[in-house]
Amino acid sequence: MKPSLINYICAYGFRFSTVIGALAIISLIFYECRFNIDMLTDWRIAIGIVVLVLIAIPLGWILGAIIIWPFAYRICAFVNGAPLIEGDMVQVLVGQFKNQRGAVYEVWRERLEVRINLGNEAKEKVEDVFSFHEVYKFRNH
């Protein structure tokens, strides 16, 4: 069975978590300001909204990175096949080795990462290290 869209979304879960955090804070600002499109006719209000949104983006990123991602990581890793053990066949879902398949040959549990057999060059340069959520484990049925 090949990876689905949800597996790829989970592989980029940190990015999604930070975007969701930013959107949550922006939505809260719009809700609290009782925003409607007519407000944009006054340039002072329009500039104020732009400033608030520009402040909300990094705050939302922090919200996503610190609060949302630690919970989302566990879900994403599980969806993509964690826990992983040596010998598991996986497909890389991100980066320069995207869609390449290989066997897990080393598991770094304390870092929640694995090394995947992607060739000697990748091994020597330590480019074969991926987080649990960045790979898809093929399940034996």
pLDDT tens digits, residue range 19-58? Answer: 999 999 988 888 887 877 777 788 888 888 889 889 988 9
DSSP symbol at 94: S
Query: Distance between CA atoms of 7 and 16, rounded to whole angstroms?
Result: 13
pLDDT tens digits, residue range 62-79? Answer: 999 999 999 999 999 999
**Tokens representing 66?**
């610190």
Query: Does residue 116 have a pLDDT over 60?
Result: yes
Which residue spans within the chain are E strands per DSSP? 89-92, 101-108, 113-116, 129-131, 135-137
pTM metric for this prediction? 0.80
Q: Which of 102, 109, 107, 98 is nearest to 8 (CA)?
A: 98
